[in-house]
Amino acid sequence: MAGEVQELLNAVKDGTLSVEDAEKAIAGKMRMEPFVDLGFAKVDLHRKLRQGAAEVIYGAGKHPRQIVHIAKTLREHGQNTILITRISEEAAELIQKELGDPFFYNPSAKLCVLGDFPEPDGAGTIVVATGGTSDIPVAEEAAVTAEALGNKVTRLYDVGVAGLHRTLAHLEELQSARVIVAVAGMEGALASVIGGLVDCPVIAVPTSVGYGASFGGVAALLSMLNSCASGVSVVNIDNGFGAGFLASRINHI
């Protein structure tokens, strides 16, 4: 950054740049990154992580029209692939109507992708595993996020450790992954057991699936935080997006 300020100053000194323009440029830098202010939201334009990857809108708590407005703004600024999480079916329909194809929507994961999925350009494969069938929506949020960000994803669903042979049957897929996302609500043990079997980073996602003393995912969260297996870290309950995003980041190092 320092280099750019030096350039500006030299230009001022040389008289090729007015004080006003230089001041504006420097002020911009002090704020660091450009964004568009829509009043109810500031749309980041700087997060374009790499060629072809998706920009993300967090849909929860936003009115369908607000989402459309943000998505259009991103499109206008050249964003091809746009990922929208936690978006209702109603809002998804409005978006498809207004922004057209290509369009992807997964109703159980409440996840929408506008534009084409990019070609995978991550270094390896991301495995997304679940303890049970009911964890699949959160797992899909992670998997589709990773795919929209340019990763190859292998899904291993219902491999909970209470039936250990189901987990071990996939030992080779687990051991050849570059990152693993372990998604579980009633079997927090899944992250622990997988973490002990592999030597790549494991991102654990507790889900709010379960009943009674699962306390909306708290039991799984605590179980995962206390995992004795090294190399395991945890994201928020049901945060499939966060896990998929982080997995992609690690896979693109």
- State the Cα–Cα distance between residues 120 and 117, nearest whole angstrom: 9
Neighbours of 113 (CB within 10 A): 20
Smallest distance, its own copies to C-beta of residue 80, A:
19
Smallest distance, its own copies to C-beta of residue 12, A:
5
Question: For residues 111 and 220, which CB has a smaller minimum distance to its own copies in the complex?
Answer: 220
Question: For residues 151 and 227, which CB has a smaller minimum distance to its own copies in the complex?
Answer: 227
CA Rg, the chain, in Å?
21
Structure tokens given for 126: 């991301």
Can you state the angle between helices 240-251 and 136-148, rounded to 10 degrees?
40
Smallest distance, its own copies to C-beta of residue 31, A:
5
- State the Cα–Cα distance between residues 122 and 99, nearest whole angstrom: 28
With beta carbons less than 8 A apart as the criterion, state whether 105 and 112 touch.
yes
Smallest distance, its own copies to C-beta of residue 100, A:
24
Question: For residues 92 and 186, which CB has a smaller minimum distance to its own copies in the complex?
Answer: 186
Through-space distance between the first and last CA atoms of the chain, rounded to whole angstroms: 23
Question: For residues 3 and 78, which CB has a smaller minimum distance to its own copies in the complex?
Answer: 3
Residue type, 225: L
Question: For residues 27 and 76, which CB has a smaller minimum distance to its own copies in the complex?
Answer: 27
Smallest distance, its own copies to C-beta of residue 97, A:
22
